[in-house]
Amino acid sequence: MERESIEYDVVIVGGGPSGLASACKLKQLNPNLSVCLLEKGSEIGSHILSGAVFEPKTLFDLFPEDAKDCPSLKTPVAKDDLFWLTGENKSIKVPSWLMPKSLHNKGNYIISLGELCQWISEKAMELGVDIFPGFPAQNYLKDESGRVIGISTGDMGIDKEGNQKGTFTPGMDILAKQTIFAEGARGHLGKQLIREFNLDEGKTPQHFAIGFKEIWEVENDNHSPGDVVHTMGWPLNEGTTGGGFLYHFDNKKVAVGLIVDLNYTNPSHSPFQEFQQFKRHPKIKEFLESGKRVSYGARAITKGGINSLVKMDFNGGMIVGCDAGTLNPSKIKGSHCALQSGILAAEYIHKILNEEICDFDDLFKGSSLYQELYKSRNFSAAMHKFGFYLGAAYNFIESNIFRNALPFTIKDEQKDCDSLNLNNPLYAKEYPAPDNVLSFDITSSLFLSGTNHEEDQPVHLKLTDPSIPLTRNKELFDEPAQRYCPAGVYEIIDKEGEEYFQINAQNCLHCKTCDIKDPSQNINWTPPEGGGGPNYIGM
């Protein structure tokens, strides 16, 4: 069977808010363009996980007529609370006037970003975009001059050992005048492009967090749609920053989550366990008790802000959204930024396809996205540099008193993969066993993510050097992959008396944490056979 190829004007990789916004905007600007969008999830939205409190303005910019009918915008934020959890049972409510401005959510909506993406994808199809879910872009293609000319999709029907099975189906090449990469946090093609085209030259290293989320169905009288609760502090402590959230949807649904910055230092730290503990705090428990957990998932967040935002255009294409790093870290909101960056990319590409002279940097610097990101430029660097309390104080002062107009920029030059201290039994963290009411183990959690991969296929988590997990990583850090992976993919098991590093690839949630945090940068996340991965509903 031969590889086939097809040509489009523009091909877009990734059906998140950024990619979908690019697709829609391109067709709005020029209905004659042929535009195709590939999504690795089996459906649009099935790999999307977000909080999410959503700033709707950009959606109205994109669909001035239709946005008001978008079914995702049904739960406006009604109330905003911020708690500082000072201990296992203790908390202080941060008064509204003391809350960082960026955490105020008036005018925003509590949404499922996955559902919003489904809605936008319907609009895109109406506009004539060809959308193909279930097909990851595996590689990008270049011509002799080094220009990106499209992507190729992966072969299907290859067994564990790499042999063709009876169902073997070759991938195909999709060629395009312009290719937009919108893979979200730590895109595997984005990562290569950034390296190959030096897109991060002069930028501080990108920073990431891992975000956990569960949806609960609650019976509770405390449930009040539109209420937003944010927390800082417990169970995370010095050396680990991040924060919790709890959003009340309609239909007696509550989204609860914890975001843990990946520059944590203690190798025995388990973000998954921290999240499970978090739910036992009285401030969270009161809403979940007597409820039932219905879904679970995790996803990395790109949060370096404008200091780490890579150059978004290169020869033959663009990189947009969290793939490039457009999230606003002071709000931990990236959906509206992703939409905006997608729109900007479409406007730029429309111009250059018409052979107009245009500089993307100028376009970007004139945008409200740039304004927003510039204002929050010091947020996460301050957290990283000064630690939680000082960092929080700094952020409060900067955002509420100086209104983000301070004339200097703080930078954090350490990569997340380099932040781990050496394993020290003295500081080993122990976590209580799951109570199966509020806290659970990984297996039962995974079940609720719906994750699934064809079993007989090559492992999609590639080790550059297979010996490292049991040598360097084990000796220095007690192989932290066993704890940072939210899906229990990595295990050191005893195989007839010998230690063996097992990769349960079929459990993978595509969160990309291993690709980011491995202290030896030895794990490469690559896309598995199409359609594999979580099946998030309403996340």
Partner 1 sequence: MSALILIELNGSDVSANTRAAITAALNLSDSLDALVLTNDASNASSVSALAGINTVKMIVDDALEHANVEVASRLIADVMNDYSFLVAGSSTFSKNILPRVGALLDVQPISDVCEIKSKNTFVRPLYAGNVMATVETSDETIVMTVRATAFEHSGDGGSASVETISASMPSANSEFISLQESVSERPELTTAERIVSGGRGLGSKENFALIEQLADKLDAAIGASRAAVDAGFISNDYQVGQTGKVVAPKLYLAVGISGAIQHLAGMKDSQVIVVINNDPDAPMSRMADLVWQVDLFDALNELNAYQV
Partner 2 sequence: MKIIIPVKRVLDPYTQARVNKQTQQVDLTNAKMAMNPFCEIAVEEALTLKESGSASETIAVSIGTDKTVDTLRTALAMGVDRAIFIKTDSELDLQPLHVAKILANIIKREEAELVIMGKQAVDNDNNQTGQMLSGLIDYSLGTFISKFDLSDDASSVEIGREIDSGIETRKLNLPAIVTVDLRLNEPRYASLPNIMKARSKPLETIELSSLGIDTSPRIKILSVEESGTKDRASKQVSSAEELFTELNQMGVL
Ligand X SMILES: Cc1cc2nc3c(=O)[nH]c(=O)nc-3n(C[C@H](O)[C@H](O)[C@H](O)COP(=O)(O)OP(=O)(O)OC[C@H]3O[C@@H](n4cnc5c(N)ncnc54)[C@H](O)[C@@H]3O)c2cc1C
Shortest CB 188 distance to partner 2, Å: 19
Q: Which stretch binds ligand X (CB under 6 A): 44-52, 260-268, 477-485, 495-503?
A: 44-52
Compute how many residues bind ligand X; rule: CB under 6 A. Answer: 52
| Full DSSP string of 36-71 | EEEESSSSTTTT-----EE--HHHHHH-TTTGGG-T
The residue range among 17-25, 248-256, 351-359, 436-444 that interacts with partner 1, by the rule CB under 8 A, is: 436-444
- Return the one option of partner 2, partner 1, ligand X, none that residue 469 interacts with (CB less than 5 to 8 A, by type): none
- Residue 495 interaction partner, one of partner 1, ligand X, partner 2, none, beta carbon < 5-8 Å per kind: partner 1
CA atoms within 13 Å, Cβ hemisphere of 445: 25
Which window, 50-58, 267-275, 280-288, 411-419, contacts ligand X (CB under 6 A)? 50-58
Helices (H), 354-480: 360-365, 368-375, 379-396, 442-447, 472-477
Q: What is the rounded distance in angstroms from the CA atom of residue 59 to the CA atom of residue 463?
A: 40
Complex with partner 2: residue 76 or 170, whichever CB lies closer: 170
128: Cβ–Cβ under 8 A, 6 or more apart, which residues? 27, 31, 35
Q: How far is the CB of 1 from ligand SF4 (least distance, A)?
A: 30
Could you give the CA distance from residue 492 to residue 302 in angstroms, rounded to a whole number?
A: 29
* Close Cβ partners of 77 (under 8 Å, ≥ 6 residues apart): 53, 105, 106, 107, 108, 109, 110, 226, 228
Closest Cα to residue 370, out of 416, 431, 324, 422? 324
Q: What is the DSSP string of 384-411?
A: HHHHHHHHHHHHHIIIIISTT--S----
Residue 443 binds partner 1 (CB under 8 A): yes
Does 335 interact with ligand X (rule: CB under 6 A)? yes
Contact residues: partner 2, CB under 8 A: 4, 6, 42-43, 45-46, 114-115, 118, 130, 132, 135, 153, 156-157, 165-167, 169-172, 294, 447-448, 450, 452, 530, 535, 537-538
443 makes contact, choosing from partner 2, ligand SF4, partner 1, none, with CB < 5 to 8 Å by partner type, with partner 1
> Of 315, 6, 10, 314, which is closest to residue 144 (Cα–Cα)?
315
Q: Which of 26, 36, 48, 215 binds ligand X (CB under 6 A)?
A: 48
Report the partner that residue 42 touches, choosing among ligand SF4, ligand X, partner 1, none (CB closer than 5 to 8 A by kind): none
Cβ neighbors of 247 (< 8 A, separation 6 or more) are: 51, 52, 53, 110, 227, 228, 229, 254, 255, 256
> Between 211 and 291, whose beta carbon lies closer to ligand X?
211
Backbone angles phi, psi at 182, to 5 degrees: -135, 55
Query: Smallest gap, in angstroms, from Cβ of residue 196 to partner 2?
Result: 25
Strands 4-13 and 172-181, bridge-based pairing: parallel
Residue 52, contacted partner among partner 2, ligand X, partner 1, none, CB below 5-8 A by kind? ligand X
* Residue located via tokens 């201290």: 421
Instruction: At 343, list the tokens.
Output: 């729109």
| DSSP reduced 3-state for 21 | helix
Enumerate the β-bridge partners of residue 378: none
Cβ atoms of 526 and 507 closer than 8 Å: no
* Interface map 477-496 toward partner 1 (x if CB under 8 A): ------------------xx
What is the x/- site pattern for ligand X, positions 405-444, by CB under 6 A? Answer: --------------------------------------x-
Instruction: Report in angstroms how near the CB of residue 535 gets to partner 2 at its nearest.
Output: 5
Is the bond preceding residue 52 a cis peptide, omega within 30 degrees? yes
Count other C-beta atoms under 10 Å from residue 493's C-beta. 9
Q: Single out the residue of 217, 441, 454, 478 in contact with partner 1 (rule: CB under 8 A).
A: 441
Q: Which of 8, 11, 12, 15 binds ligand X (CB under 6 A)?
A: 15
Q: Report in angstroms how near the CB of residue 526 gets to ligand X at its nearest.
A: 9
| Alpha carbon separation from 468 to 90, 103, 236, 423, 455 (Å, rounded) | 42, 42, 29, 16, 25
Name the residue type at position 531: G
498 binds partner 1 (CB under 8 A): no
Binding site for ligand SF4 (CB under 6 A): 461, 485-487, 489, 508-514, 525
Of residues 50, 295, 423, 473, which one binds ligand X by CB under 6 A?
50
Binding partner at 513 among ligand SF4, partner 2, partner 1, none, C-beta below 5 to 8 Å by kind: ligand SF4
CB of 447 to partner 1, least distance (A): 4
* Chosen from partner 1, ligand SF4, partner 2, none, partner binding at 509 (C-beta under 5 to 8 Å by type): ligand SF4
List of residues contacting ligand X (CB under 6 A): 13-19, 38-41, 47-54, 113, 136-137, 182-185, 187-189, 211, 213, 257, 259, 299, 301, 321-323, 327, 332-336, 338, 443, 446, 451-452, 506-507, 527
List of residues contacting partner 1 (CB under 8 A): 433, 441, 443-444, 447, 455, 495-496
